[in-house]
Amino acid sequence: MQHEYQDILVSDISSGVLTITLNRPEAYNALRTQLLSEVAEVLDQAAQNDDVRAVVITGNEKVFAAGADIKEMAALDAVGVLNDPRVLHWRRIAQFSKPLIAAVNGFALGGGCELVMHADIVIAGDNAQFGQPEINLGIIPGAGGTQRLLRTVGKSMAMQLVLSGEFISAAQARDFGLVSEVTIPERSLERATELAHKIATKPPIAVRQAKEVLLKAYETTLDSGLSLERKAFTLLAATEDRNEGIAAFMEKRKPNFTGK
Ligand code: HXC
């Protein structure tokens, strides 16, 4: 069953997986405040709910999201932008502690491309197009599109996207590490969901620790990243799931992870 919010659809939890569908087709899923607040709200709830092990986020067959809502943005002056509640919603999305997997078909532009970069794994249909066209509006990316993009695709491609506003294809996005797999458009959601289900069977504390430590690599030195990895590795030695995983391997049986 799909639960209807104003701007998104949220599925029931199925074997640990929740799916969020951006649902403003008339505005190419433009990320107005309402939409972002709903995504942040659902992720906050998912973070608290032990039954949710991974979240899939998707759009429709033609568009993931065409960016910030330009009509809404037009009404804001500098103080309005400074106090924009969307900044908080973006932060909540970035802080989601469980795996977030994006299935992207069609346009992922501006804030839409930035939302993609908030996902941990990205599966794209071969009709996907990624871009940061903010420069055409006299602005620059404002939800991580300079920082996350550069760290993801490297300097030359990040500069190319942000300065020229040109779009890149799914295949180029994969070559540059923005996307991990490209499928036919009809399969992207299925593949993302398949991965989410697989991750949902893994020990949840180890999954969360892995996400946290991997993301730290964006913003720390190798030395402190390795130190954090070692601490997380040590912490996991105190979990029941680690004992269960090792015992199951020794006994040649499937592990039964309990999240403890
Ligand atoms: C509001 C949008 C929109 C957007 C599309 N629409 N993108 N509305 N904000 N970002 C609306 C259009 O107004 C139109 O509605 C309908 O969606 C379909 O769009 P068309 O342009 O008619 O479709 P098409 O010709 O197929 O072109 C698709 C497109 C184009 C290439 C995606 O719509 C486009 O360039 N959109 C803007 C992309 C963009 O610049 N994104 C960056 C935004 S700034 P009506 O009612 O008019 O028919 C940003 C900053 C992030 O994201 C900062 C985060 C803090």
Residues 34-84 pLDDT 10s: 999 999 999 999 999 999 999 999 999 999 999 999 999 999 999 998 999
Pocket flag, ligand 1, residue 70 (CB < 6 Å)? yes
Block residue for tokens 């069609």? 106
d(CA 117, ligand 1 centre) in Å: 19
Q: Which of 68, 119, 158, 192 is catalytic?
A: 68
Consecutive H or E run containing 55: strand 54-58
Residue ID of nearest Cα to ligand 1 atom 15: 27
Between CA 123 and CA 183 the distance in angstroms is 7
User: Would residue 114 show up in a list of annotated catalytic residues for this protein?
Assistant: yes
**pLDDT score recorded for residue 66:** 98
d(CA 203, ligand 1 centre) in Å: 41
**pLDDT score recorded for residue 3:** 84
CATH class (in words) of the domain with range 204-250: mainly alpha
The topology under which CATH files domain 8-200 is: 2-enoyl-CoA Hydratase; Chain A, domain 1 (3.90.226)
d(CA 28, ligand 1 centre) in Å: 6
8-200 against 204-250: fold identical: no
- For 140, 156, 193, 233, 253, the CA distances from 58, given in Å and listed in that order, are 24, 28, 10, 32, 35
Q: What is the pLDDT of residues 139-181, one digit of tens each?
A: 999 999 999 999 999 999 999 999 999 999 999 999 999 999 9
Between CA 259 and CA 241 the distance in angstroms is 6
Residue type, 233: F
User: Would residue 111 show up in a list of annotated catalytic residues for this protein?
Assistant: yes
Residue ID of nearest Cα to ligand 1 atom 30: 66
User: Would residue 196 show up in a list of annotated catalytic residues for this protein?
Assistant: no
Hey, what's the torsion of the CAs at 157, 100, 181, 163, to 10 degrees?
Answer: -10
Block residue for tokens 């990316």? 141
Q: What is the pLDDT of residues 171-188, one digit of tens each?
A: 999 999 999 999 999 999
Pocket flag, ligand 1, residue 67 (CB < 6 Å)? yes
Domain residue extents for the chain: 8-200, 204-250
Between CA 146 and CA 131 the distance in angstroms is 12
